[in-house]
Chain A
């Protein structure tokens, strides 16, 4: 069996680092990892996603719709955009803080925050909401949203990885001066 995870958000939010942390943690457990990332043009404020597949029987880095065990969203509208990938009964962990694009102010579709949140609540039974504004205020930094979300996903039991696994990956990937902040971010609830 493979565990299928989608990470999504807006270019620049740190989805790639989060998917690398999951990959490192899984590799340390000797689990095969395949991932696919959005890289390039779309990064300039566009929608970005990563597919992360853990386990031997994933033939390719990308998964089919309806097969994600977990959607880890850095932004609520992006959670809705990726929802077709969620398998029935799958889990969504999402930041509640909207990122409103320039297009919403210069003639594109408006950002319907209420509609988006209601839709998530109606469609996803296993929904974990992360108040990232409060997390940023309490942690004193908005830079570790990715690790806050990973912490929430670990506690939701959907990664097949422990807090200790992610912590070890953090130590491997980040310079020591960032450890303390990220450890608090991982534990933040």
Chain B
């Protein structure tokens, strides 16, 4: 054993490696991404790891590996689980041979997600056991216990952590590489009565699952991580039930001499019913401190009804804890203070602070997406249009001054939403913007749907050769894998032509006039047509030169600032200067300035089809 300072996600990865995981597949998404990245960095040669094209693919790859006796793990964020839910819901019935853990990161707040869904509720729905760690150190231990349980029961299990555990850091004890378990997969053993799902098999297996979960609830009541902390002092007839990071928030707020009894639930499903009855014994009231859904609160209410216990269960459903959003040390402190009948310690008054600037996330200085949006905006000025956006850095094209994202729903939705709008409003010129990683993840089916069903729209693929939003992961278009191999790139233009699109043009968005001209021409074509804007994400590409403003020529019209909103352009003393620490010399502002006052930049060369270099 040795000590390391680890992020929760790194601890989860090292725990999985220590448990002898053989195959890891996932799709990036905050706050889950670092788990798979750490596996790739720290794995031994015999561990296979991949970024799959989406979560459904990852789930199926992991299932196949676990059928073959390999310990497997899937990593994704909570909305990724929605994408993977079709295979998972059936896998529940089929089961696995070796341990399979589905690592899902939930995001109360939400801080960087579309939804505040709760994987504990998904565990109830899918009837799969679920682990919910409270700290980085515990995550490291519990992921290993999750593999054990999964393998023993022959079922996939959930391991769900939330942002504050995933992205918290702690100095913890971890096993040396030499101490890791090694699991030798047996290989796939043919047995169609086991691996082929049919209604007949599901009838039998469903009954087994229900019986297993009833047994498991009892077994998990003895799991050491489902525990009760005895109350102290005058609060002896009160209880607090909690889970995950909220257990840490509760502990921060407990008075050592005088506090309620505490139940920490580490396995929200199957719920440790016997442990809960033991906790409720002799209590008058319980406050459930939870984030996301009131899972424990509903379970305890049910247990009270079932066993005829006269205990009042409070929490989200009774308005004692906020029904949505993230909890904090203070919000939990206030809820506990109100519960035990104490004054909440007054938080320092915010006072008379000056108005602070707001800092919504923005596209980086020199981001090629800015140029793509600006080109379409100029080309379509004055026309009746809709710009369906999608998920990625380019969602930030919604902000002023670009204002080029009219819709954003979930990954890959933009292309289909544009079709829906077109069928209702045929006189609107419909655009769908999609990032390259999103295109591979879930944009291709929508494009085929549009082509087959005779929609009229322009697909704009924003190809920055990476999955930028989630921290620059490779994808099929980059020709690099997580195993470190250089492989054939999947060519987006060829995919589109393969579907049947006859108008597909690839252009450098930073070649502004040409980009505008291309948009005008392509959008005027009938049917489904595509523009691929190709230019690398500037976080990955080294800038070639910086642009500078000639103060003699700058008249201070601020056109560049107002049209582009690049953070590199800073108004100063009635003119504009360029912040050289941010500017990448993308030249977009040079092309926009009507007075030719900006120069010195240099576009990053882009390979265009036909060997042309823009």
Instruction: Assess whether A111 is interfacial by the CB under 8 Å rule.
Output: yes
Chain B binder among A78-86, A150-158, A159-167, A179-187: A78-86
| Contact A88 B348, CB 8 Å, known A37-B167, A39-B30, A59-B252 | yes
B330-A102 in contact (CB<8A): no
The CA of A47 and the CA of B359, in the complex, are separated in Å by 6
B400-A62 in contact (CB<8A): no
| Contact A40 B356, CB 8 Å, known A32-B171, A59-B248, A60-B248 | no
Instruction: Assess whether B386 is interfacial by the CB under 8 Å rule.
Output: no
Contact of B360 among A27, A80, A86, A103 (CB under 8 A): A103
Contacts of B581 in A (CB 8 A): 142
A60-B329 in contact (CB<8A): yes
Q: How far is the CB of B289 from chain A (nearest CB, A)?
A: 13
B355-A112 in contact (CB<8A): yes
Instruction: Assess whether A174 is interfacial by the CB under 8 Å rule.
Output: no
A108-B357 in contact (CB<8A): yes
Of the four ranges (under 10, 10 to 19, 20 to 34, 35 or more), the interface on chain A belongs to 35 or more
Contact of A44 among B169, B363, B401, B558 (CB under 8 A): B363
Q: Interface residue count for B (Cβ, 8 Å)?
A: 55
B357-A104 in contact (CB<8A): yes
Main secondary structure of the interface of B (DSSP, over half): loop
Q: How far is the CB of B596 from chain A (nearest CB, A)?
A: 22
The CA of A27 and the CA of B558, in the complex, are separated in Å by 50
B362-A60 in contact (CB<8A): no
Chain A positions 129 through 168: 1 when the CB is less than 8 Å from some CB of chain B, otherwise 0: 0000000000000100000000000000000000000000
A64-B329 in contact (CB<8A): yes
Chain A positions 79 through 116: 1 when the CB is less than 8 Å from some CB of chain B, otherwise 0: 01101101010000000000011111111111110011
The CA of A70 and the CA of B353, in the complex, are separated in Å by 19
Q: How far is the CB of A94 from chain B (nearest CB, A)?
A: 14
Residue on A nearest B30 in the bound complex, by CB: A40
Contact of B169 among A35, A77, A80, A104 (CB under 8 A): A35
| Contact A116 B354, CB 8 Å, known A42-B361, A65-B348, A103-B360 | yes
**18 A-B contact pairs sorted by A residue (CB < 8 Å):** A32-B170, A33-B171, A36-B168, A42-B111, A42-B361, A44-B361, A60-B135, A60-B164, A60-B251, A60-B329, A65-B348, A77-B357, A83-B353, A102-B362, A105-B558, A106-B565, A119-B352, A123-B351
Interface residues of B (CB under 8 A from A): 3, 5, 30-31, 111-112, 135-136, 164, 167-171, 245, 248-249, 251-252, 328-330, 333, 347-348, 350-364, 393, 396, 400-401, 469-470, 558, 561-562, 565-567, 570-571, 581
Extra contacts besides A42-B111, A60-B245 (13): CB < 8 Å: A27-B171, A34-B170, A44-B361, A59-B248, A59-B251, A61-B169, A64-B333, A66-B347, A84-B347, A84-B350, A105-B571, A108-B358, A115-B354
